[in-house]
Amino acid sequence: MNTQWSKADLHIHTTYSSDGTASVVDVLEHVVQHTDLRVIAITDHDTIDGALEARRIACAYSIDVIVGEEISTADGHMLALFIEQMVPPGQPARESIAAVHAQGGLCIPAHPYGWRVPSMGHARLHERCTGPDREWPVDAIEVFNASLWLPQNNHMAAEAARNLNIPGCGGSDSHHLPTIGLGYTLFAGHSASDLRQAIQTGQIQAGGTAWGWVHNIEFIALWLHGMTRRALKPSTP
């Protein structure tokens, strides 16, 4: 068994998400200069364009980048990791999971019990992830999401993962630079391929610190600024 452990953030947004505020380059530079992360997953909402860009230039930053997507399924948000093709939003989670697995990816319900956010935990996740013929054969559950306001939301996710005997991972759900790495996954190994194996064998641990009030205020201010700038930008004839 690999006894070396490294840190990954499996839930990061860039400006390729409508509510992201940091460019791909800014994210990579911040990770290298201000965190101890060895692996990151770019998981923009319903697109992989930012993740593909990040992976393409990651060698210049000596960090492993996983191509991911936060899919808006009909049953709640789900992280897809290690994919090469975007999975369209709006499909039932069962179909989205099948589409991710068909291309060799991994499926992780995001913030499954998050308050006032589309979450698979509110669509009978526990029931649908149980048994040998599970309707939702997910590969892990996000048991620590640093952006959630209510700690109980993460506690419920961790309890579900334990009861279902499914690995639990963590991520920052970062939408602006200061929150990158606040939520993380410890894994056996040091590379993206090691992380993949660690998820599949359960050699992972979730941890981190929730966003503070300052982080939330910063993000809201940046998001509003970006919305205003886009609204005022002249349209191309």
pLDDT for res 97: 98
Collect the ranges in the chain with pLDDT lower than 70. 1-3, 211, 213-216, 219, 222-223, 225-237
Residue 192 domain-assigned (yes or no): yes
Residue 237 domain-assigned (yes or no): no
* Structural domain for 160, as ranges: 5-232
**CATH number, position 173:** 3.20.20.140
pLDDT for res 229: 60
Residue 145 domain-assigned (yes or no): yes
**Lookup: tokens for 2:** 């690999």
pLDDT for res 192: 98
pLDDT for res 230: 55
pLDDT for res 149: 87
Residue 92 domain-assigned (yes or no): yes
The domain total for the chain is 1
The rounded distance, in Å, linking the Cα atoms of 30 and 40 is 12
8: left (phi over 0), alpha (psi -120 to 50) or beta: beta
Residue 66 domain-assigned (yes or no): yes
pLDDT for res 226: 63
pTM: 0.91
Residue 64 domain-assigned (yes or no): yes
